[in-house]
Amino acid sequence: MAEKIKIFTTGGTIDKVYFDALSDYQVGEPTIGQILDEANVELDFSIQKVCKKDSLELTDADREAVAEAVRNCKESRVLITHGTDTMIKTAQYLRGIAGKTIVFTGSMNPTKIRNSDAFFNVGCAIIAVQTLPSGIYIAMNGQILNPERVVKNRKDQRFEPI
């Protein structure tokens, strides 16, 4: 049996809910459990919400809460859903945590939107967290990226190695 995976959620676009064209969005409840259930994923995992914010609103105190949660969990395989605007910054913030495989993922479009990339990105992250050696990674756009050598290309809505 595969090792248990700990999933931490922070909010971000992956969990956003839009009500209509004139409404502002809200960060809703974490959607990763629904994604994994709908994909019939048979893994031992648990989900814990750290915060529920757009990543542009995350503070260093929020990043420290994520780091503390990761440090304190007994699992060595950790997946973190996060908004894409500051995902790299939070991944770099965790760089001092050793002995764990930490994979960040998110989406450019909310899970609730039909053409969302959330499903694919979560699938890639689930495989990555099970197979990669300890370290910190970003799983986006079909790639596994090093947070020290990646940028978000806003125009083309993707992460790119540098």
* Distances from the Cα of 78 to the Cα of 19, 20, 48, 133, 135, angstroms: 32, 34, 11, 12, 10
Question: Tens digit of pLDDT for each residue in 120-155?
Answer: 999 999 999 999 999 999 999 999 999 999 999 999
The strand order across the sheet containing 101-105 reads 45-53, 5-11, 77-81, 101-105, 135-140, 143-145
Answer yes or no: are the C-beta atoms of 140 and 151 closer than 8 Å: no
Question: Tens digit of pLDDT for each residue in 15-44?
Answer: 998 766 666 778 888 999 999 999 999 999
Question: Tens digit of pLDDT for each residue in 84-114?
Answer: 999 999 999 999 999 999 999 999 999 988 8
Global confidence as pTM: 0.94
Q: Which of 154, 151, 155 is nearest to 138 (CA)?
A: 151
Domains of the chain as residue ranges with CATH: 5-161 (3.40.50.1170)
Q: What pairs with residue 8 in β-bridges?
A: 48, 80
| Residue 27 in tokens | 């960060």
Q: What does the angle CA 67 – CA 16 – CA 92 come to, to the nearest 5 degrees? A: 25
Residues 6+ apart with CB under 8 A from 107: 12, 13, 14, 84, 116, 117, 118, 121
Answer yes or no: are the C-beta atoms of 155 and 143 closer than 8 Å: no
